[in-house]
Amino acid sequence: MTSKTPNNKAVTFSSVPLWEDPAAVLQSGRLGLLCNHVAWHMETDEYLFETLYKRGVLKRVFTPEHGLFGELQDQVKLDDAGPYKDLGFKNCEFVSLYGSQESSLVADPKKLIDLDTLVIELQDVGVRYYTFLSTLRNLFKTLKKENIPLPVWVVDRENPAGPWVEGSPLKPEYESFIGIEGIPHRHGLTIGEMAGYFHAEIEADFPLYIVSWKAGLRCFPWTIAPSPGFPGFFTAAFYSGQCLWEGTNVSEGRGTTRPFEVFGAPWMEESLTGYNQKAGYESWNDPRHPLYDSNAALRWHRFIPIYGKYKNECCFGFQLILRNPNAGYHALLHALRIIRFIRENCEGFSFRPGKYEAGNDKTAIELLAGDPLILDYIKREETEETELRKYFRKNEVEWIEKTRQYRLYEEPLKATALTFHSNNK
């Protein structure tokens, strides 16, 4: 079945699972695989790399950030894939695409030119900060640059963040490994749809096959968490906004069972105790409160991270709780408002200094925000929320129109509902 990408004739959309028709892909013993532990097949009780190895066709396995089993925390580099040698896969090479050197983020062309087929099976989370999209695009760019006609099969998976779109396209000066130019904060596409978009964007001519996520789904989408900081489906509702805490000295909840759903710091309690009484609010969820959002409630909270920021220290903060999971909560704009509030009202607040990610020397908050208007809103207070809301809505609608041709499924993309209380100017 031909894909719905009329401007990209090299892309084919398949409704047949790879494991049901292996002859379509596995015609020789020189197959490469980019995957991690989510590529586990319920029917075979095996990882995809186990199945392919047993068939005698697997030559090389590429691993993204977090490692083959999602065992590594964020930004932990793997320079030598030696830990996987104990799997006993003779004549099969493991190659890390997330090492200490920036060059390690791009596959050596020599590791691709001797392959007959490359299969990719990763779980994206629908937000541009997640590095699997950069790993995928880097591979595509290498194939294009080196003119390697390697057929690529992408096993699609459902987007846990859904078809919602949030934010603005990343500006060129903020591009890094955690942000691709032109991609909004929450993009609304599956990894297969993003593959089609990248293929067209770089004008690639290698064959690209996208296997529908509806084609014999092997396990529930969130039976296996894709990385340590993304434990479940619920994380996707908040990640596009709460990840921005990584650019500050506030814990984003890493080291707890609810990362990106809880946030806080030891010094916040002293600053915020009694705030509501002094300001005349009934609670943190008073509709008049600066932090109020009609789609998410705040529960004040204490937590002790077991790793990451404030390890073994008691943090005061909040847990975000969706009021209506289907209402279209704009996690990004709510998070920006919370960050601005904490910066204004807590003396201990600061932005994280120094270089944060490969490919750009800018700070974490600059790379994550990726937009001067957003940075102005949270740093200088000259931008009002009404301006930011209109700006987001314009860019969200433009992204939806731009990517319409790459959609492979019936559900349309949606601009997240921007509903706020009357106090916001």
- Exposed (0-12), middle (13-18) or buried (19+): which is 191, by Cβ within 10 Å? buried
- Residue 241 pLDDT level (bands cut at 50, 70, 90): very high
Alpha helices in 322-384 (DSSP H): 331-345, 364-369, 372-379
Max mean pLDDT among 133-147, 318-332, 380-394 falls in 133-147
Tokens at residue 342, please?
Answer: 């904490």
Q: What's the mean per-residue pLDDT of the chain?
A: 90
pTM exceeds 0.85, yes or no: yes
Among 251-255, 285-289, 313-317, 415-419, the range scoring the smallest mean pLDDT is 415-419
391 vs 222: which has the higher pLDDT: 391
* Secondary structure element (H or E) that encloses residue 50, with its range: helix 48-54
338 vs 410: which has the higher pLDDT: 338
- Residue 213 pLDDT level (bands cut at 50, 70, 90): confident
Q: Is the pLDDT of residue 216 over 60?
A: no
Averaged over 218-231, what is the pLDDT? 76
Q: Can you list the pairs that 1-4 forms with residues at least 24 positions away whose Cβ atoms lie under 8 Å?
A: 3/196, 3/210, 3/408, 4/405, 4/406, 4/407, 4/408
Chain centroid to CA 186: how far?
8
> CA 257 to CA 249: how far, in whole Å?
19
- Residue 23 DSSP symbol: G
- Give residues with Cβ within 8 angstroms of 226, minimum separation 6: 36, 38, 66, 70, 122, 123, 124, 125, 132
Tokens at residue 326, please?
Answer: 């289907």
* Secondary structure element (H or E) that encloses residue 320, with its range: strand 315-322
Q: Which domains does the chain have, with CATH numbers?
A: 11-211 (3.40.50.12170), 233-400 (3.90.1150.140)
- Residue 17 pLDDT level (bands cut at 50, 70, 90): low
* Secondary structure element (H or E) that encloses residue 197, with its range: helix 191-201
Q: Is the pLDDT of residue 286 over 80?
A: yes
